[in-house]
């Protein structure tokens, strides 16, 4: 029997519930964590906001809702199924100022505007590397969509902390937050089927993959659309984005006048949209990238990336057309509740395709579905060059699949060493040292794979140029060194274009020029990592920045009919791989009455069960049950099962 699809207007919480967000067993710890993060004398001023999804059981009669808490105010919003096949968002409660009310994707779009925003923030400077911007001067593009999507994955946290734009880490340049400076990446398409020009449209990184598929003439398939519901008009198995029809050069039949034969994504990691536009204003800078962009279609205000706006999730969003909450790589490091392990795709680097959700399809896989598997000189030959989105690529160093003549590759690598800027050697900045070597090997792979005759030229290449990101982190987002890194990258792009022209492949190639995030100036002296506060304050939590996974207990109270005894069952709140919640043995249970008088104590057995005597003369609401365990956050409940928790609205805003 088929389950009917939800009707338009039906509330839509997390798509795949698996412990993410706050359920009734986490109301106490969740409220305490939010309060600590916003009011701690050091961490509070660094924190922009804390977001979560609060389970429906805690918000009757209005149902579950997404929440954003900040010192300046809070907003609670809900998501529902819309008529257009996408989600719709409704604000259901605001106290004080809505922290993410400003969602203008065109705000703070240039280096000059970053300096002006810093001045308005009370941080005047002429150095964009010192442009520290306060939340009131920022916007949060697509805030509701990007916050809600994160909580769709069972890998999502209970809380996500959004640091202030300048308060994340110890490097001069940083990213990861929801604000527009860190969330805007450059985007341009160039090649057959693309109408040259510049667009002011607000677009998303989830739109890149469907646009590529549309230009390449992929058939629409039965899959799932932006809400996870079945759709017969998608190009990928799960497709959150849309083809950018407005940039296409269409004929009378509604189809592109020309179609590319191949696709090359030039992914310049860490290059902010404002910095790239500044280089394009210099007529002598980055000539090869300029050539591609000027013959193509560029988005003036860039493209809005995944949240968190950070490498591994964002790359896989580009490669799948899905937000991180749907492709399941929700952060460079995250916690798997069912196995009680922390995984770190970005730290591991190699063999990380296995972390990608099975319900999504990469562009590599889509090319193979349409054009067949690569077999010798037939089928689709796909390539990932140092690219974190790897699943399905035939050549991928990060998945240890390497194609091509090794001796020739070494020779090409030696030739490409001439592109390295002397600055990196002269400055001796340790964090940058290995990247020119990596980049040289990367472009050598591209030149080799497009010039060998033992296989077809790659039909799809996703090429990660990592040097700009490393430089922007260590020097700052607008340092002269960032311009040097772009010039060096441009020289490598020039080598690629010459090879493609020699092979007669340039004119039929679609190029996509983009990055995975923006980059913000950072106060390095803060060395900020807000979520570390929680374990320091004695809370039980797994805290891979900016995510917090709270370790809590499910406490069930069963009173006997005579009211004189009760059975307490204490389990881990998160289910394990079997789907069961393991018992919390040796939990200490305390029964208290008026004034905190201890009436009884007990410890749970191997099955997480304890029996306690109850005072017959006290009503259930006046009896407090406290549960403590070394591995979990404490619980405090009334005998009637209601939680004893902090009133956040009263404590933060003076409203209950």
Q: Are 344 and 333 in contact (CB under 8 A)?
A: yes
253 pLDDT more than 70: yes
Judged against a pLDDT cut of 90, whether residue 655 lies above it is answered with: no
Burial (CB < 10 A; 0-12, 13-18, 19+), residue 438, is middle
Residue whose token pair is 């390295």: 420
Burial 103-125 (b: 16+ CB within 10 A, else e): bebebbbbbebbbbbbeebebee
Q: How many CA atoms lie within 13 A of 291 on its CB side?
A: 11
- What average pLDDT does the segment 55-65 reach? 71
Domains in the chain, CATH or no CATH each: 24-104+139-170+525-550 (no CATH), 182-521 (3.40.720.10), 553-653 (2.60.40)
Rounded to whole angstroms, the Cα distance separating 314 from 183 reads 10
What does the pLDDT look like over 531-584, one tens digit per residue?
999 999 999 999 999 999 999 999 999 998 888 899 999 999 999 999 999 999
Closest CA to 484 of 422, 435, 413: 422
Q: How distant, in Å, are the alpha carbons of 218, 357, 370 from that of 366?
A: 9, 15, 6
Could you give the CA distance from residue 518 to residue 178 in angstroms, rounded to a whole number? 10
Which tens digit of pLDDT belongs to each residue from 583-635?
A: 999 999 999 997 888 999 999 999 999 999 988 788 888 899 999 999 999 99
* β-bridge pairing 565-572 and 553-559: antiparallel
pLDDT on residue 57: 67
The fraction of the chain above a pLDDT of 90, given in percent, is 91
Check pLDDT > 60 for residue 2: no
Task: Answer whether residue 205 shows pLDDT above 50.
Answer: yes
**Sheet of strand 547-550: strand arrangement:** 87-96, 73-81, 65-70, 47-54, 159-163, 547-550, 541-542
Q: What is the pLDDT of residue 3?
A: 54
**What pTM, to 2 d.p., does this model score?**
0.96
pLDDT average, residue stretch 295-318: 97
Mean pLDDT score, 364-379? 95
Closest CA to 181 of 570, 458, 650, 518: 518
Q: Whole-angstrom Cα distance, residue 373 to residue 392?
A: 10
Q: Which residue has the tokens 């069972």?
A: 154
Closest CA to 184 of 171, 197, 175: 175
| H-helix or E-strand spanning residue 117 | helix 111-120
* Angstrom distances, CA of residue 348 to CA of 153, 333, 610: 21, 10, 43
Mean pLDDT of 374-402: 96
- CA-closest candidate to residue 272, choices 421, 102, 114: 114
At 538, give phi and psi (nearest 5°).
90, 5
Side-chain-facing half-sphere of 208: CA atoms under 13 Å = 40
Residues 6+ apart with CB under 8 A from 437: none
Least confident of 456-465, 494-503, 615-624: 615-624
CA distance 364 to 388: 13
327 has a pLDDT exceeding 60: yes
| Mean pLDDT value of segment 34-55 | 97
Neighbours of 147 (CB within 10 A): 26
250: left (phi over 0), alpha (psi -120 to 50) or beta: beta
Give the pLDDT of residue 61: 55
Q: Is 574 exposed, middle or buried (0-12, 13-18, 19+ CB in 10 A)?
A: buried
Q: How far is CA 298 from CA 178, 289, 457, in A?
A: 23, 12, 26
Specify the 3-state DSSP secondary structure of 416: helix
Total number of residues shown for the chain: 656
| Nearest Cα to Cα of residue 446 among 433, 460, 467, 428 | 460
The answer to whether 145 touches 80, Cβ cutoff 8 Å, is no
Tokens (6 digits) for 5: 């699809």
Mean pLDDT of the chain, nearest integer: 95
With cut-offs at 50, 70 and 90, classify the pLDDT of residue 420: very high
Residue recorded with tokens 């004695």: 538
Tell which residue, 121, 65, 54, 61, has the closest CA to residue 89.
65
Q: Would you give the distance in Å from CA 141 to the centre of its chain?
A: 14
Residue 79 phi, psi dihedral angles, 5° rounding = -120, 140
SS3 508: coil
User: Which one-letter DSSP state was computed for residue 411?
Assistant: H
Taking the CB of residue 428, how many other CB atoms lie within 10 A of it?
A: 9
The predicted structure's pLDDT at residue 594: 79
pLDDT band of 59, cuts 50, 70, 90? low
pLDDT in tens, 341-357: 999 999 999 999 999 99
Q: How many CB atoms lie within 10 A of CB 467?
A: 29
Q: How far apart, in whole angstroms, are the C-alpha atoms of residue 394 and residue 353? A: 13
Collapse the DSSP code of 613 into the 3-class scheme (helix H, G, I; strand E, B; otherwise coil) and give the result: strand
DSSP 536-565: HTT--EE--TTEEEE--EEEEEEE-TTSSE
Please report the pLDDT score of residue 4 as a whole number: 64
Res. 1 pLDDT band, cuts 50 70 90: very low
CA separation for the pair 59, 117 (Å, rounded): 37
What is the model's pLDDT at position 85?
84
């Amino acid at each position: 029997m088929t389950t009917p699809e939800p009707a338009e207007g039906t509330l839509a919480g997390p798509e795949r519930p698996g412990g993410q967000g706050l359920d009734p067993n986490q109301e106490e710890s969740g409220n305490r964590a939010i309060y600590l993060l916003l009011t701690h004398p050091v961490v509070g001023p660094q924190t922009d906001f804390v977001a979560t999804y609060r389970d429906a059981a805690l918000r009757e009669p209005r149902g579950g809702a997404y929440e954003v808490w900040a010192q300046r105010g809070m907003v609670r919003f809900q998501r529902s199924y819309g008529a257009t096949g996408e989600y719709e968002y409704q604000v259901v409660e605001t106290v004080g100022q809505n922290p993410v009310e400003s969602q203008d994707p065109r705000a703070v779009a240039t280096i000059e505007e970053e300096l002006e925003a810093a001045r308005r923030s009370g941080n005047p400077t002429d150095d964009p590397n010192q442009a520290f911007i306060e939340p009131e001067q920022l916007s949060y593009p697509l805030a509701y969509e990007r916050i809600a999507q994160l909580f769709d994955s069972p890998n999502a946290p209970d809380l996500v902390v959004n640091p202030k734009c300048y308060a994340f880490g110890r490097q001069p340049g940083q990213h990861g937050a929801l604000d527009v400076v860190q969330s805007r990446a450059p985007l341009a398409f160039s090649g057959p089927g693309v109408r040259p020009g510049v667009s002011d449209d607000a677009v998303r990184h989830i739109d890149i993959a469907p646009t590529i598929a549309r230009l390449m003439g992929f058939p629409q398939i039965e899959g799932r659309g932006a809400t996870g519901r079945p759709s017969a008009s998608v190009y990928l198995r799960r497709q959150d984005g849309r083809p950018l029809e407005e940039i296409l050069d269409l004929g009378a039949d509604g189809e592109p006048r020309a179609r590319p034969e191949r696709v090359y994504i030039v992914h310049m990691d860490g290059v902010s949209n404002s910095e790239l536009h500044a280089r394009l204003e210099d007529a002598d800078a980055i000539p090869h990238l300029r050539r591609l962009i000027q013959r193509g279609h560029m988005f003036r205000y860039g493209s809005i990336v995944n949240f968190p706006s950070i490498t591994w999730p964002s790359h896989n969003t580009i490669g799948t057309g899905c937000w991180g909450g749907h492709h399941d790589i929700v952060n460079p490091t995250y916690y798997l509740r069912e196995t009680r392990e922390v995984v770190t795709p970005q730290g591991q680097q190699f063999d990380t395709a296995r972390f990608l959700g099975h319900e999504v399809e990469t562009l590599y896989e889509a090319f193979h579905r349409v054009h067949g598997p690569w077999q010798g000189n037939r089928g689709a030959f796909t390539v990932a060059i140092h690219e974190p989105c790897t699943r399905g690529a035939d050549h991928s160093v990060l998945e240890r699949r390497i194609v091509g003549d090794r001796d020739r590759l070494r020779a090409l690598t030696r030739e490409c060493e001439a592109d390295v800027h002397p600055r990196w050697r002269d400055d001796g900045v340790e964090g940058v040292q290995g990247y020119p070597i990596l980049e040289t090997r990367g472009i050598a792979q591209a030149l080799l794979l497009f010039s060998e005759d033992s296989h077809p030229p790659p039909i799809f290449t996703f090429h990660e140029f990592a040097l700009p990101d490393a430089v922007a982190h260590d020097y700052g987002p607008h340092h002269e060194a960032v311009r040097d890194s772009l010039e060096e990258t441009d020289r490598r792009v020039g080598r690629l274009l010459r090879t493609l022209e020699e092979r007669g492949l340039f004119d039929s190639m679609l190029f996509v020029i983009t990055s995975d995030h923006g980059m913000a100036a950072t106060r390095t002296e803060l060395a900020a990592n807000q979520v570390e506060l929680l374990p320091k304050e004695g809370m039980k939590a797994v805290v891979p920045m900016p995510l917090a996974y709270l370790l809590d207990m499910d406490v069930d109270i069963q009173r006997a009919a005579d009211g004189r005894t009760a059975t307490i069952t204490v389990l881990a709140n998160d289910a394990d791989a079997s789907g069961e919640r393991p018992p919390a043995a040796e939990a200490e249970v305390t029964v208290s009455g008026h004034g905190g008088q201890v009436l009884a104590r007990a410890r749970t057995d191997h099955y997480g069960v304890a029996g306690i005597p109850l005072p017959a003369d006290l009503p259930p609401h006046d009896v407090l049950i406290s549960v403590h365990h070394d591995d979990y956050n404490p619980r405090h409940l009334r005998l009637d099962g209601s939680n004893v928790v902090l009133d956040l609205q009263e404590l933060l805003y003076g409203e209950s």
